[in-house]
Amino acid sequence: MKRLFWILTLLLCCMQGFSQTNKVASNKQVATTTVKKPTATKPTTNKPAANATVTNNTSNKNASVNKPTANNTTTSKPAANNTTTNSSTPQATCGYLCNPPLPYLPSKLDILFIGNSFSIDTSTALPEIFNSLGISNVNVYVLYKGGCSMKQHYEYYKSGEKVYELYRYSVLGEQLLEKATSINDVMRRYPYDVVVFQQYSLESGDYSTYEPYLSKLIQAYNISKISARTTFAFNETWAYASNNKSLSKYKTTTGMWKSICTSIKKMKAASGIDIVIPCGTAVQNARSVETLNVDNELTRDGLHINLYAGRYLLACTFFESIIAPCLNRSIRDDITIYGKGTDIGQVNNSNRRLLQNCARLAVANNYDISEFVGQ
State the pLDDT at residue 187.
98
Separation of first and last alpha carbons in the chain: 159
State the pLDDT at residue 73.
42
Per DSSP, the residues of 281-334 read HHHHHHHTSTTT--HHHHBSSSSSBPTTHHHHHHHHHHIIIIIHHHHT--GGG-
State the pLDDT at residue 172.
98
Pick the CATH number of 109-364 from 3.40.50.1110, 3.40.50.1000, 3.40.640.10, 1.10.30.50: 3.40.50.1110
State the pLDDT at residue 333.
98
User: Distance between CA 154 and CA 216 in Å, rounded?
Assistant: 7
Average pLDDT for 54-73: 41
Helix (H, G, I), strand (E, B), or coil: what is residue 210?
coil
Q: How confident is the model over 108-123, as pLDDT tens digits?
A: 999 999 999 999 999 9
Mean pLDDT of the chain: 84
Amino acid letter, 374: G
- Torsion on CA atoms 203, 209, 214, 215, rounded to nearest 10: 160
The kind and range of the H/E element at 132 are: helix 126-133
State the pLDDT at residue 374.
82
Ordered by start, the domain boundaries in the chain are 109-364
Residue 106: pLDDT over 80 = yes
Q: How confident is the model over 211-257, as pLDDT tens digits?
A: 999 999 999 999 999 999 999 999 999 999 999 999 999 999 999 99
User: Distance between CA 19 and CA 21 in Å, rounded?
Assistant: 5
State the pLDDT at residue 95.
82
Q: How confident is the model at residue 4 (pLDDT cuts 50, 70, 90)?
A: low
Q: From residue 131, how far is each of 13, 120, 329, 336 by CA, in Å?
A: 145, 18, 13, 9
CB 282, CB 329: distance < 8 Å: no
Contacts of 65 (CB under 8 A, 6+ apart): none
Strand order, beta sheet including 173-181: 173-181, 164-170, 138-144, 109-115, 194-198, 231-235, 276-277
Q: How confident is the model at residue 7 (pLDDT cuts 50, 70, 90)?
A: low
225 φψ region: left (φ > 0), alpha (ψ -120 to 50), beta (else): beta
pTM across the whole model = 0.76
CB 287, CB 245: distance < 8 Å: no
State the pLDDT at residue 16.
53
State the pLDDT at residue 12.
57
